[in-house]
A = this chain, B = another copy of it.
């Protein structure tokens, strides 16, 4: 296990806060955010000192029907530019996520010099890492910062994970992300696994990041525990908006960080003006017992999302269904 880096009152210049509200939150409402919402979030992030704002996915228009999703599933450069202009001198960088196998990266990712996007985050499973590396090298050669986000690692055996990390460490990727897709990890596991990510990443001159889910109300705790031992790229979303139980709350994370560049007030104003109306309109995410149950069973949240959508409250029956179907 790694030692603590700094203390509660120290300032860590390596820390980067990544707002994923549109991207992970878009999984809740099929990416149907109003332009006003997106523009206000962009301005709030700038004022709050957030380092990166992820606008959504760079999904393939060949694979997904563009009439069935909001535009942030596709993140066309012109749509981003309509919000951010040239995004000059803001201090906020723009990222998009590109899923392995679901992105026409050769066509849709243009050279960085012609794009408002700064960073491509490549999401992969362990078994598609060679394809992820192809995308990393493509994005890197086009001039982008890159991260690789290995999903569902709580289902991967330790040997495979170690091999994957070592292969990725030989690529051009800048940041390797620990992703707790199912909200299954406890803090002591996060410390152990993040230590491994950090050791392999840092030896290769790379950074490590953390993306947590809130199934067990541990997203914030796990994020700061990973941070405390050296992870520096920290994913969060406003009010925790994200698939199922959602993510680490931006509000909590900014309040925790001691770097004076971060400012909680613009985020609270954004919550008041945009997140409360969004919630009131019936968009549902956040901790609930069905998510706790998929989290403790290390299961994909899809069945819990369905359970919540159907407004079921027969938790014990749902629990037993999970045992029948996922274990």
Contacts and interface: CB of A to CB of B under 8 A. Distances in A.
Contacts of A187: 187, 221, 224-225
Interface in A221-271: 221-222, 224-225, 228, 249, 251-252, 255-256, 264-265, 268-269, 271
A110 interface: no
A226 to B, nearest CB: 11
A89 B4 CA distance: 47
Interface range, A side: 35 or more
Given A8-B188, A218-B220, A220-B218, A289 B313 contact: no
A219 to B, nearest CB: 8
A256 B251 CA distance: 26
Contacts of A272: 313-316
Contacts of A217: 214, 217, 219-221, 249, 252
A296 interface: yes
A21 interface: no
Given A255-B292, A292-B251, A292-B255, A268 B319 contact: yes
Contacts of A186: 8, 224, 256
A313 B225 contact: no
A214 B221 CA distance: 12
B292 A188 contact: no
A276 interface: yes
A128 interface: no
A216 B252 contact: yes
8 contacts: A8-B189, A186-B224, A217-B249, A221-B221, A221-B222, A251-B292, A268-B316, A272-B316
Report the 9 A-B pairs with minimum CB-CB distance, sorted nearest first.
A221-B221, A268-B315, A255-B296, A265-B316, A272-B313, A268-B316, A217-B220, A217-B217, A218-B221
